[in-house]
Structure 1
Amino acid sequence: MFSLSFMAAAMVLAAPAAAQIGLPSAPMPQTSLPVPVIGPVVGPVVGQTLDGVDRAAQDVQREIEGLARQRVRSINRLLRDNRQSIEADRQGAPARRGELLVLDADDTTLEAARQAGFTIVSRDMIDGLDMAVTRLRVPDAMELAEAETVLARIMPEAKIAADNLHFPAGHAATRAAAPSQTGAIGTDTPVGMIDSAPVRDAVTELRGFATGAPLPADHGSAVASLLTASGVTRIRAADVYGSDKAGGNALAIARAIGWLTASGTKVVTISLVGPRNAVLERAIGAAQARGVVIVAAVGNDGPAAPPAFPASYDGVVAVTAVDGKRRALIEAGKALHLDYAAPGADIFGLNAMGKRMRLRGTSFATPLVAARIARAKADGKDWRRALDAEAVDLGATGEDAIYGRGLVCAACKGAR
């Protein structure tokens, strides 16, 4: 594992601070919520002193620390502004207020929970995954973090999780004319996307998994336009936001994965990030066992943030982003593993009004990788070998923690 100081120095070589530090000033609207930086609150960034490293590296280090502070402020603002719908779990991560999700609980332990004041909201089987989830309402006088601890004592053999929220990993900046698309490789293999809803004519099938869904929004529309620009002709889109203030929650994403799996989708792209969650981890594992490849963004919380999920779950293809000069985005987050980089800045997509937008973020690198995987599978190839053969080695020779196994879709520019 490399130190943060090493990461800061490497970032200087890969991405000059002046060119990449500023995040876009016009974030895409997704739901009625702000678009926060996600993950459990962490302590001070380690490696704050960079002995022997030039001032440019110190500037990068300050920006990395600034991203971490921004993340904490965003979480606090989100919780403050949405008290009726959202609260922090015991890790400090945002979740749906007053509800816990339970796996592997029998009737005896559920009755014990009921005696302790918990109420069963529903006991659901997620289609396509053979997975049962019980939703419990927390006692009125009990905060979510406390309720997790209490319930864990009552049912020690069960898996208990808050219904954690996940957020988009990219923004649109300004409208812009786009260059002609290059790097498109047509395939009619269906690709699934879990996001906000794109406009209906951009996808083959569209289903909602949240209150008010499907509700077209810019982020999902941009992701769908990138899939289309990459040659994907069949897109199944799941909207996990709609108008729900607690949209993007783990249960909605798990249900969306179930629908896509049941429909025969073998490649799913997820440009969302959140904390580790037992329910979502189980859903992804079940889908993978059925042959589904999950591709996910590492997020834009910066390298000082905790590992992003779902990119960090076992077997998920974790994707980071570079700009048009093949420099790593300084705000790119990290995962417990990293597979590939793809263009995530100086590219273009369409918003919900069909207008071209300049895009930035690991959100937009992710569908490009998913499209490459779908094409390889359609051609009967081992997709890992196909991507490795295409990947341009950047940074340190061989696989590394900044670019993974290399840059794919290097010529991709996005929507026309």
Structure 2
Amino acid sequence: MRPVMMGLVLVAGMTAWGAASAQLLPGLPSLPAMPGIGGGLPDIPGPDTILSEVGRVSRATVARLDAARRAAFAQLVRDHPDAIVLDPQGFPARAGEVVVDSPSEALLNAAARSGYGVIAREDVLGVGFVRLRLPPGRSLKAALDELRALGGEVSADQLHLPSGGGRALAMMPLAQRGGQGTLVGVIDGGVEGAAVTQGFAAGAPRANDHGTAVASLIAGGHGITGSLPGARIASADVYGTDPAGGNATAIARALGWMVQQGVSVATISLVGPANPLLARVVAAARARGLVIVAAVGNNGPAAPPAYPASYPGVIAVTAVDGRNRRLIEAGQASHVDYAAPGADMLATGVGGRRFKVRGTSFAAPLVAGRIAALYPRLDPGAIAAALARVDASAEDLGPRGQDKFFGRGMVCGDCRTFSR
């Protein structure tokens, strides 16, 4: 594979991992091995290497990023056909089940007569839903069509994938992550040294590099500058060892847990498609005062809008490199609130290993920490004032004022721990 093409495939996000990605999120499958990929986080070429060969975001670049995204989804299904399928829109989803929002007993009885079985009835922040097992031989599309015809608000349990990677550099002495400061939420893989942790997938909680790296950019430590040094981390592991981890229902439950823990700000460096259940839970969590910060993803400008970043009221974050240029692989959302450093910088993974990281995954936690410093407790009435103070500190990039590329400006520009 030519170097530039390998770079484009990799920077399309953690949807295009090499074989080493199993160490990053142990439950997620990987693409075939690519040259130059070491252990831990994937070995991603630096932005200067990519930009020098690609230049501006050409149509060919956009097409390659989009092709990488689609190829990665197809590979997920090939690697785990019993656990993952593609939904009618081509997004990966949990196989063999669907989710029905607040179904009536009449609908459930009709579904049972058609061979559907109830896996679980759940309620998250007042949002009720039922997970149904598909009858043998029933395709996901057929099930969605059938249950919608019965009047159900039904969806696939779509997967959300991480939006960044990096290259291992060195190991630093271990230190407990989290002091006596504000509790900040990380919905991702498990975080090593988190103050509180909860699992929402088979095999969870289980610390991994991606979740731990995201947390390191909030709390700092191991020689990394955090956006809120000394913060305590509330870790919701939505992956564990489940090949279909990161699904919408797991993230929904994680948001409910964050509210129960009194977390005021939670960051999500994962991207997926719009999901009606998750949209309702996001709205319920926001109504209770939880500020949700999410990455716009790394699938390129041709990719569909990324969620949860695109849900109303979610703080959507894009990333810039060491020269404050928007990453060429940055995805899109229905809105962009802020930019933050997301390349030419270091973070730490499990065991204190330091990584050179790249991706919108690593911009979102920087913004989350800055917001949490000004909004440390759940209080819906205080959110607007806290965000106004963040706005005032943001550095205007691109066209004057708010714009679709950098939002209201770059936050935490002084937080980057530069890589050498």
C-alpha offsets along residues 215-235 of structure 1, whole Å, 9 cap, x if unaligned? 111100101111112225211
Say whether the 8 Å CA contact 2:168–2:353 is kept in structure 1.
no
Q: 1:162 matched to which residue of 2? A: 156
**Is residue 253 from structure 1 mapped to residue 251 from structure 2 by the alignment?**
yes
Question: Does the aligned pair in 2 maintain the 1:187–1:374 contact within 8 Å?
Answer: no
1:122 counterpart SS class: strand
SS of alignment partner, residue 319 of structure 1: strand
The Cα shift of 1:58 comes to: 7.1
Specify the alignment match of 2:391 in structure 1.
388
Change beyond 3 A, Cα 1:177–1:256: closer
Residue type at the aligned position of 2:365: P
Q: For structure 1, which runs of at least 5 residues remain unmatched after alignment?
A: 1-16, 37-54, 179-185
Q: Deviations over 1:226-264 (max 9, x none)?
A: 111222521101000000011001111111111111111
Task: Map Cα deviations across residues 358-391 of structure 1 (whole Å, 9 max, x no partner).
Answer: 1100000000000010011149782211111111
**Residues 16-95 of structure 1 aligned to structure 2 (within 5 Å):** 23=10, 28=21, 29-34=24-29, 60-95=58-93
TM-score, structure 2 as length reference: 0.83
The one-letter amino acid paired with 1:320 is T
Residue 305 (structure 1) aligns with: 303
1:198 corresponds to which residue? Answer: 191
1:35 Cα deviation from its structure 2 partner: 5.7
- Which of 124, 133, 136 is residue 132 of structure 2 equivalent to? 136
- Counterpart of 1:72 in 2: which secondary structure? helix
Would you say the 8 A contact 1:190–1:236 is kept in 2? yes
What is the aligned partner in structure 2 of residue 207 from structure 1?
Answer: 198
Any residues of structure 2 matched to 1:17-416 within 5 Å, and which? 23=10, 28=21, 29-34=24-29, 60-126=58-124, 129-154=125-150, 156=151, 158-175=152-169, 188-199=181-192, 201=193, 203-229=194-220, 230=227, 231-378=229-376, 382-414=385-417
Change (3 A) 1:101 1:414: farther
**TM-superposed deviation, 1:330:** 0.3
**Which shifted more, 345-354 or 362-371?**
345-354
CA contact (8 A) 2:27 2:239 kept: no
User: In the alignment, residue 217 of structure 2 is paired with which amino acid?
Assistant: L
Contact kept in structure 2, 1:340 and 1:404, CA below 8 Å: yes
Identical positions, percent: 46
Aligned partner of 1:88: which letter? L
- Tell me which amino acid in the other structure corresponds to 1:134: V
Amino acid at match of 2:208: A
In the aligned structure 2, how far is the partner of 1:296 from the partner of 1:134? 26
Q: Distance in 2 between matches of 1:151 and 1:31?
A: 34
| Superposition RMSD in Å | 2.4
TM-score (norm: length of structure 1): 0.83
Instruction: Give the superposition deviation at 1:402.
Output: 1.2
Contact 1:31–1:247, Cα closer than 8 Å, also in 2 = no
Partner of 1:39: none
Q: Following TM superposition, by how much is the alpha carbon of 1:115 offset from its aligned partner in structure 2, in angstroms?
A: 1.1
Task: Give, as a single letter, the amino acid of the residue that structure 1 aligns with 2:407.
Answer: G
Q: Is the 8 A contact 1:170 1:364 kept in 2?
A: yes
Please tell me the residue identity of whatever aligns with 2:83.
Answer: S
**SS at the partner of 2:118?**
strand
* Cα contact 2:98–2:132 (8 A) shared by 1: yes
Structure 2 segments unaligned to the other structure (5+ residues)? 12-16, 32-52, 173-178, 221-226
Q: CA deviation at 1:187?
A: 8.4
1:33 CA displacement: 2.3
